[in-house]
């Protein structure tokens, strides 16, 4: 009887591990709301159409997702996706080598949008093109 309970417990544990792995590999939502807690946030959150960027525009996952080791991005599809704020602080810290959060977003998103050079399709000149709170720079 004891052996049966151990075997059943092992099967239950294996089932939980498999289910967890399946859920971890689930597709991201079509639209992601990027909402961060800045000390002063006048512009509001950004809704990123993830599906459009990844499927329609064919932007590589590693254009946004990264995990740098020795100056090289080692992140690959299927790796855990961290929120940007987990590594990029909202406030600049003296001696910190990691870019502050707002600058990291702007550098990544705006530079890509500038390359597209069409403000109507890829806004980058006015905050309201991306931020829900609107406003001009």
pLDDT along the chain (137 residues), means of 10: 61 51 66 85 89 92 93 93 90 85 89 78 80 69
Q: How much is the pLDDT for 53?
A: 92
131 phi, psi to nearest 5 deg: -80, 135
Q: How much is the pLDDT for 81?
A: 92
In contact, 88 and 95? CB cutoff 8 Å: no
Confirm whether 79 is domain-assigned: yes
**Domain extent for 107:** 28-129
CATH number at residue 32: 3.90.10.10
For residue 129, the 8-state DSSP code is: G
**Sign of the torsion angle spanned by Cα atoms 77, 82, 83, 86:** negative
Confirm whether 36 is domain-assigned: yes
pTM to 2 decimals? 0.68
């Amino acid at each position: 009887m004891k052996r049966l309970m151990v075997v059943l417990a092992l099967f239950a544990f294996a089932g939980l591990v498999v289910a967890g792995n399946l859920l971890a590999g689930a597709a991201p939502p079509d639209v992601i709301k990027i909402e961060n807690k800045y000390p002063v946030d006048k512009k509001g959150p950004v809704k990123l159409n993830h599906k459009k960027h990844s499927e329609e525009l064919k932007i590589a996952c590693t254009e946004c997702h990264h995990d740098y080791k020795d100056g090289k991005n080692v992140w690959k599809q299927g790796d855990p996706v961290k929120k940007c704020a987990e590594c990029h602080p909202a406030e600049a810290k003296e001696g910190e080598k990691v870019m502050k959060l707002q600058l990291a977003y702007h550098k990544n998103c705006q530079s890509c949008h500038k390359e597209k050079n069409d403000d109507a399709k890829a806004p980058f000149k006015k905050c309201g093109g991306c931020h829900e709170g609107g406003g001009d720079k």
